[in-house]
Chains A and B, each alone.
Chain A
């Protein structure tokens, strides 16, 4: 069963707009990670946030983590057409901290 669940399942925006995706999870974690998957490709790691961190930035990406609500959000600012992809959150904590459990993903479409 999925540990993380992303919301929304799909998101369609215009270039230049911000995109926000949310992830909820069920059990205690050491860290939460976000990955991107372009169509037909493997997943690429974007950012890792530890359970004792509340916010992390990487370029146009901003990730927040609220362990009391067991939720995280990924914000992509000033979206570009090249950001079109599926985005997945992943958490440890359900496999003895040896494995990551992925959510079902948010499909982001950024139109020019």
Chain B
């Protein structure tokens, strides 16, 4: 099992450029999440999805958009990248609500915005 796969692993953007991070899971999980991790800040939730076709905002959603057109994929988009979005992005998935389930994480995508 591949688990949770994130692409790309590394990306350098210029301010104002756009890009999409792809997250794919092969565990038939209902819930998917995008977090960002910055030094000294821990992980902060950007957006999440509780099922195909659904999305919801997390703690730091501004500047990001997401889509969950297929159950196995969760896309994170940056429409106009800013240096403040330089971070490591982690996708995670869970079988169901986290009240009873755990998260499986991808390996991360390191994004630098110049």
* Residues in A lying within 8 Å of B, measured CB to CB: 1-2, 30-31, 33, 35, 40-45, 48, 88, 90, 92, 95, 97-105
Binds A, one of B11-19, B66-74, B79-87, B101-109: B101-109
4 closest Cβ pairs, A-B complex: A42-B105, A104-B42, A30-B99, A102-B43
Q: How far is the CA of A104 from the CA of B43 in the complex (A)?
A: 7
Q: Which of A31, A41, A103 contacts B107 (CB 8 A)?
A: A41
Instruction: Assess A102 versus B42: contact at CB under 8 Å? Given A42-B106, A45-B104.
Output: yes
Q: How far is the CA of A98 from the CA of B97 in the complex (A)?
A: 5
Instruction: Assess A98 versus B107: contact at CB under 8 Å? Given A104-B42, A105-B42.
Output: no
Instruction: Assess A98 versus B50: contact at CB under 8 Å? Given A31-B99, A104-B41, A104-B42.
Output: yes
Contact yes or no, B107 A42, CB < 8 A? yes
Q: Shortest distance in angstroms between B10's beta carbon and chain A's nearest beta carbon? A: 11
Q: Which of A48, A88, A97, A105 contacts B102 (CB 8 A)?
A: A48
* Residues in B lying within 8 Å of A, measured CB to CB: 4, 31, 33, 35, 40-45, 48, 50, 56, 58-59, 90, 92, 97-100, 102-108
Q: How far is the CA of A103 from the CA of B41 in the complex (A)?
A: 8
Residue of B at shortest CB range from A48?
A: B102
Contact yes or no, B108 A88, CB < 8 A? no
Q: How far is the CA of A100 from the CA of B97 in the complex (A)?
A: 10
Q: How far is the CA of A90 from the CA of B102 in the complex (A)?
A: 10
Residues on A with C-beta less than 8 A from B59 are 1, 101
Contact yes or no, B42 A99, CB < 8 A? no
Contact yes or no, A104 B105, CB < 8 A? no
Q: How far is the CA of A48 from the CA of B77 in the complex (A)?
A: 31
Contact yes or no, B103 A45, CB < 8 A? yes
Residue of A at shortest CB range from B39?
A: A104
Instruction: Assess A100 versus B103: contact at CB under 8 Å? Given A43-B90, A95-B45.
Output: yes
Contact yes or no, A104 B103, CB < 8 A? no
Residue of B at shortest CB range from A86?
A: B42
Q: Which of A42, A43, A48, A99 contacts B45 (CB 8 A)?
A: A99
Q: Which of A42, A95, A104 contacts B108 (CB 8 A)?
A: A42
Contact yes or no, A31 B100, CB < 8 A? yes
